[in-house]
Structure 1
Amino acid sequence: MNILYIEDDTEIGSWLHKDLSDRGYNVTWLKSGEGAIEQMNEMDLVILDIMLPGLDGFSIGQRLKKEHPTTPILLLSARTSIDDKLQGLHFADDYVTKPFHPDELAARVEVLLRRFEKISAPFIQLSHLRIYIPENRVLDVRTNTEIPLTAKQFFIFKYLLRHPNQILTKEQIYEAIWENPYLDGDKTLMVHIRHLREKIEEDPSNPQIIETIRGIGYRVKQ
């Protein structure tokens, strides 16, 4: 999925660009509305800040929506007044106020992508598992029962699924999930992976879904 992200604040922009990229999106980040319309044919969704140099987000968003009505727009703003929200929702499809948690934003992005049918498959089928990403649910199709995962277990699994067939280091996974620097020798991730395998693998001692790459990290094959 390709996301156009328009934000002039370098600190927020860098942080959100990295977070969305880590979740598997292809993110094009612009610091103003200049050049946005030329990017739109390739985009599945727009994340747009309101306070921008030159034309503000309201003006840019209205133009983008007029020319590309089937591309969802999510507005970001520190403005919390009902008048600003109503003005934004005249053309935008969602409105998120700053500060926000990255998981909330990611969930809203997925909801919009599904609403506008940018994501065709409602779930991921992997071996005996059916994974519903937006709903944070994993189903065992053999028994048609839900597998209860903790929030951290699901976030780890989802992060691996966002990077299919890619070897991810322990550092990458830990820092993406816990948002803290990884300390060499820390067993936290390993313990979570072990408990996750006990729930999703047919034979946890011989895992086929989450593969260990010795000395590096883990990989999910699809």
Structure 2
Amino acid sequence: MKKILTLTFGTLLLWSCQNNAQNNVQNNAISSTTKSNQSMNTDEQIETIYQYKVTDLYGKEFDFASLKGKKILVVNTASECGLTPQYKDLESIYEKYKDKDFVIIGFPANNFGSQEPGSNEEIAKFCQMNYGVTFPMMSKISVKGSDKAPIYEFLTQKSKNGLQDSEVEWNFQKYLINEQGKLIKVLSPRVLPTDPVIIDWVNGK
């Protein structure tokens, strides 16, 4: 009788250990799947600039998806700012590198010191006459505040761009977008378009 009881107890103990081990494997698998799904959900929330369409200075739709494979410099501009001469350097690097999958997109904005008061037509005329701008210029938008344009919500919100939260400090702040449409760097308005940090990036250094 003692042998039978010992055998029965041993069998129950073995069954219990196997059952606990199986439950642990299942629980680990569920935990791993949950973490994987959470990671996927986070990744799915990160956007690219290719999801956005805007309007250019001449009223035509501009689809950022058309720039896939290019490096993009996005800059908010103004016609009556102390930094307005940056237009010259922006045009210079655009002319030099536009055939190397690089493009500049300008967004006139009147958020700082009311230094972009003109209409789209007036802005286009000013850019052409004073700086010979040929890089794509979009219609005037707001880059901060309650009426911030969706494209700038992407550029300034980490929850959308996956890089960082930022505020547009002043006219001519710069955002660098890589060939996959993802934000990789935010540069102060005081960083010149010809600064090595931009030129090296364009050249892949």
TM-score above 0.5, yes or no: no
More strand by share: 1
Q: Which has the larger radius of gyration?
A: 2
Q: Which bracket does the TM-score occupy, shorter chain normalised?
A: under 0.3
Q: Whose relative contact order is higher, 1 or 2, with alpha carbons under 8 Å and at least 6 apart? A: 2
More helix by share: 2
Instruction: Give TM-score scaled by structure 1 length.
Output: 0.26
